[in-house]
Amino acid sequence: MKKVYHVDLGDRAYDIHIEPGCLDRIGRALREVVPDAGRCFVVTNETVAPLYLGKVTDSLERSGWSCFHCILPDGERFKTLDTWSGILDAMMDARLARNEPALALGGGVVGDMAGFAAACYRRGIPYVQIPTTLLAQVDSSVGGKTGVNHPQGKNMIGAFYQPRLVWIDPRVLATLDPREIRAGLAEVIKYGAIWDRGFFDWLDTVMPRALALDEDVVSQMILNACRYKAEIVMADETERGKRALLNLGHTFGHAIEALTGYRRYLHGEAVGLGMRMAARLSEQKGLAPAGCEDAVLHLLQAAGLPTKIPSFSFGDWMDAMAHDKKNIGTLVRFVLMRDIGHAFICEDVQPDEIRRLIESFRA
């Protein structure tokens, strides 16, 4: 059931390897992509370390690697410059050379921070993504976005820095909290909503099997999501245009995360809520046909995701969205929908339309 997708970015190209049970072969795989190094550095967190750090370290040592590691606290609220600086301190203590790779073993927070540290340490060392959450496997591990949050906005500090390899073992999802599985499914739904109505409809038919972690369904789902994202990244690596489509639901979703202190919702849950808001706004503006929001809502409910939009003041919404990275100056840019499978970037959303949208959910 091995599936491999090649991300063709010239001298920054890499493979996404998806295979149940592949985690204990990461040592050999790393040797193939970084053949001239003898030491490596694993970044993980306090939740993942007891589960998989030993297995990864054993695999690395069997292939002749000497390993160092850094264990971070777990949670979005620790995705800060202080935590990132701690990774750099540990890299300095290990005296990593410029050709010695870092491995990000964990979810999106670990991957983003380890990748950003790898981008900055000695002005760039190789790094590999080993995502252990569904959200990271289908989204954040692919594409080279790295960074940390700032109190005024999510992922506002970072760099585009591509991994050398993305190594995905769907079996690690068995130890994941079911809530994390559901949060990851929100990002999977997003790909169907922006790119492929057929995939969106397929998800509706297989959702019970996806929630049960059926290996065939999950592997195919991860491959499709990674392929859609990689195709967009290959066309627009540094988000000058088309790549912003991947942010469907994120302008509202990031605002929800910020307004709740990154404690109430998982990232995928907030994105799911943001997709519902984007679909309703698309309908209210006459851009999408009636039923677009209902289709998104149905699939979110099938995945067991929250669908009730939290209530904040209009001013709070606008202030939170003002810090979105897609904005140009003071112009708030949204990713909206013409229909399921057809998203676009919209720069014509007026404050009164946002006010009407917020009031419609309050009603």
The catalytically annotated residue of 239, 257, 283, 293 is 239
Does residue 326 have an active-site annotation? no
Does residue 254 have an active-site annotation? yes
Does residue 123 have an active-site annotation? yes
Does residue 149 have an active-site annotation? no
The catalytically annotated residue of 19, 76, 187, 237 is 187
Q: Is 40 buried (19+), middle (13-18) or exposed (0-12) by CB count in 10 A?
A: buried
In the chain, beta strands by DSSP E: 3-7, 14-18, 39-45, 66-72, 102-106, 127-131, 145-150, 153-160, 165-168, 334-339, 342-346
Compute the distance between CA of residue 363 and CA of residue 351 in angstroms, rounded to an integer: 18
The catalytically annotated residue of 79, 243, 276, 280 is 243
The catalytically annotated residue of 227, 254, 276, 280 is 254
The catalytically annotated residue of 17, 79, 182, 267 is 267
214-233: burial string, b at 16+ Cβ within 10 Å, e else: ebebbbbbbbbbbbbbbebb
Does residue 209 have an active-site annotation? no
Q: How far is CA 57 from CA 26, 41, 51, in A?
A: 9, 10, 12
The catalytically annotated residue of 247, 257, 326, 333 is 247
The catalytically annotated residue of 229, 276, 325, 333 is 229
Does residue 2 have an active-site annotation? no
Q: Is 74 buried (19+), middle (13-18) or exposed (0-12) by CB count in 10 A?
A: middle
Angle between helices 267-284 and 178-195 (to 10 degrees): 30
Structure tokens at 283: 């309908």
Residue 132 CB-half CA count within 13 A: 27
Does residue 267 have an active-site annotation? yes
Does residue 187 have an active-site annotation? yes
Q: If you search the block for the tokens 């698309």, which residue do you land on? A: 282
Q: How far is CA 241 from CA 21, 237, 333, in A?
A: 37, 9, 11
The catalytically annotated residue of 250, 280, 325, 333 is 250
Does residue 69 have an active-site annotation? no
The catalytically annotated residue of 79, 145, 154, 325 is 145
The catalytically annotated residue of 95, 123, 240, 308 is 123
Does residue 362 have an active-site annotation? no
Which sequence positions are flagged as catalytic? 123, 145, 187, 229, 239, 243, 247, 250, 254, 267
